[in-house]
Chain A
Amino acid sequence: MMELVMSIVIGVLTACGVLMMLRARTFAVMLGLTMLSYAVNLFIFVSGGLTAGKGAVLGRSDIYSDPLPQALVLTAIVIGFAMTAFLVILAIRARADLGNDHVDGNSGNAQEDSD
């Protein structure tokens, strides 16, 4: 049951993320990338196996959960957060420099872009 819920959650997040990333506006793409990175983080988190009731600290329980995915996901979260922050700044800068928020930097209006 837990596996099913987890895989549905990851799948839906990934699908939404990819859909948003295919939009042509920087804000939508940014949201898409954030969702995708949530999906990826969950995926890393469950890569050590999905079990309930295992101890996270040595000595508290007879069986232990795998600590490495937790360390990996922590690293991935930190890096993903920093990259998202950078992307927000870059998108605002591109909006200011190029005059619109299209990912290609043109508004879709050929006459306006030719100058």
Chain B
Amino acid sequence: MQHLPILPILIPLLTAALLLLPPFQTMLSRQRWFSGASLLLLVLVSAFGLYESAFGATNFYLLGNWPQPFGIVLVHDRLAAMFVLLTAVLALAAWLFSIGGEDGLGAFYHPLLHFLLMGINGAFLTGDLFNLFVFFEVLLISSYGLLMHSGGKARARAGLHYVLMNLAGSAVFLLALALLYAALGTLNIADMAQKISQLEPSQVPLVKAAAGMLLLVFGLKAAVLPLHFWLPSAYSAATPAVAAMFAVMTKIGVYCLLRVFGTLFAGYDNPLADFGQQMLWLAGLATLLLAAMGVVAAQSLKKLIAYLVLVSVGSLISVLAIGTVPAVAAVLYYCLHSTLIAAALFLLADLIAKQRGTVADRLVSGRPLQQPVLLGSLFILAALAVVGMPPLSGFVGKIWLLQAATDASDKIALWSVVLLSSLLVLIALTRAGSTLFWRLNKQQAGTERCGRAQLVAVFSLLLSSPLLVIFGDAVMQFCLLAAQQLHTPLLLSTTGGH
């Protein structure tokens, strides 16, 4: 399968384009099934890609068969394959949830979902920095549309912030690219890494400035501390399936930090080695603390979950800054866990809100739920996973994150901040759960019950948590190998063309 690397980009692109054409354009039911079939195919292709990548070879796919570094190249290695599969699984769950009626609330839900997937997969697979910018724009413009799906005041307000922040971010990204091109004469990541190690001292400040700007842009995507203000309102305003899909968006920032700062600016003879590490470490820890306080202070369940996303970003960024192979592997494992569980929580919050009538997801006393036992047990499962209690994947993930710190001073900082934030999250979730399920007023329960497809979507996302523990050994081995592969310098291969 030599064309395997490009399929996760082509499948959503063609699907989205077809969905806009006559046989599907006006018929929501046809759109649903075609979209679902395409997502299923995407999951299968991504799973096969993961299987191929497990053999360890980095697969360069030369678009148009232009030799490197002149043409655009896709890089399919363990790291990329893993994130592509994660995205595909998440999209399938979001699709399953949305066919309960959410997709009909506004136009173009399914085409936008597939364009978003094309952008995300492209960002994961590309080996060219300018191409990364283009795929960022593809995924951003689709996410703008999805965020505004079904309209309303709160979405317009959050959407405006989100779009403005990202447009400013794109301008900074372009400035960084132009600087890097002026200094290095190439935008191919593997080629740039080689050029940087032989950089003239006079050029180093230019490249450093560009690296600082890239740090800013990826920090904005990942929502690290001073750049996180757009996230809570945007994620809590989005419709549930969209919010679930957005759970992977912050991880794109984390992925780019890993890819660009792991490959481009790392290396022993690199003048920029360890650039920004201290900043990321402090920003990550501060994000973690602040987000945990946000979780405690949140007045609605969706806001609370949005802050939980920030908590995971904080833990990921601070451990990522440590930068050793075990640390990166722990980050990858925690990425899998936190994305899937955050998505499950967003979907679950909607199911709970629907049965509470007018108070919706606000954390005040409301009418009893129609299915309290079912939703309550799902909520407990999700809460246990997200807090990091045994026996679910949050526990394994957090232990692994904590083990990544090796210095005594790092250990003190990381352990105290992570454990303190976990305690705050535990308190907040306990309080939220008891308010939602036990603080009832005298009203009768409503009649609305959960749709079967929606329950299956939540359940399958939650199931990933025990699965990540049961197959923990294999997943960890894979994460370790992926981290090692990231740390071995990418060699330009002019052979292996297609």
Task: Point out residues on A near B: beta carbons under 8 Å.
Answer: 21, 26, 29, 33, 36-37, 40-41, 43-44, 47-49, 68-69, 72, 75-76, 79-80, 82-83, 86-87, 90-91, 93-94, 97-98, 103-105
Contact = CB atoms under 8 A, between A and B. Distances in A.
Contacts of A83: 137, 141, 167, 170
Given A33-B167, A40-B171, A105-B153, A94 B160 contact: yes
Nearest to A66: B185
Contacts of B490: none
A75 B134 CA distance: 8
A45 B170 CA distance: 16
A82 B141 contact: yes
B134 A47 contact: no
Interface stretch (B96-104, B174-182, B238-246, B259-267): B174-182
Given A21-B168, A37-B171, A94 B178 contact: no
A68 B181 contact: yes
B459 interface: no
Given A21-B168, A94-B160, A98-B153, A48 B181 contact: yes
A41 B163 CA distance: 20
Nearest to A41: B174
A10 to B, nearest CB: 10
Interface in B200-249: none
A94 B182 contact: no
A72 B160 contact: no
A105 B155 CA distance: 11
A104 B229 CA distance: 12
A90 B159 contact: yes
Given A48-B182, A72-B130, A79 B171 contact: no
Contacts of B137: 79, 83
B178 A105 contact: no
B152 interface: yes
A42 B139 CA distance: 25
A12 B181 CA distance: 23
Contacts of A103: 160-161, 164
Interface string B127-140: 00010001001000
A72 B129 CA distance: 11
Given A68-B181, A94-B159, A97-B153, A40 B144 contact: no
Contacts of A87: 163-164, 167
A103 B157 CA distance: 8
Nearest to B153: A97
**Overall SS of chain B's interface:** helix
A75 B136 CA distance: 13
Contacts of B178: 40, 43-44, 47, 69, 72
Nearest to B186: A68
27 contacts: A21-B168, A36-B168, A37-B171, A40-B175, A41-B174, A44-B181, A47-B179, A47-B182, A68-B181, A68-B187, A72-B130, A72-B181, A75-B130, A76-B174, A79-B134, A82-B141, A83-B137, A83-B141, A83-B170, A86-B163, A90-B144, A90-B160, A93-B148, A94-B160, A97-B151, A98-B153, A104-B157
A29 B134 contact: no
B163 A90 contact: yes
Contacts of A21: 168
A26 B174 CA distance: 23
Given A82-B141, A86-B163, A105-B157, A44 B134 contact: no
Nearest to A29: B164
B156 A98 contact: yes
Q: Which of B141, B153, B160, B182 has the most chain A CB atoms inside 10 A of its CB?
A: B160
B51 to A, nearest CB: 34
Nearest to B162: A90
A97 B178 CA distance: 38
Interface string B142-156: 001000100111001
A105 B148 CA distance: 15
Interface string B324-364: 00000000000000000000000000000000000000000
Contact of B160 (A26, A69, A82): A26
A33 B164 contact: yes
A97 B150 CA distance: 13
Contacts of A48: 181-182
Contacts of A93: 148, 156
A37 B174 CA distance: 9
B89 to A, nearest CB: 29
A43 B130 CA distance: 15
B221 to A, nearest CB: 16
Closest 10 CB pairs of A and B: A105-B157, A47-B178, A47-B182, A97-B156, A44-B178, A94-B156, A40-B174, A36-B171, A94-B160, A47-B181
Contacts of A90: 144, 148, 156, 159-160, 163
Contacts of A40: 171, 174-175, 178
Contacts of B152: 97
Nearest to B144: A86
A49 B174 CA distance: 17
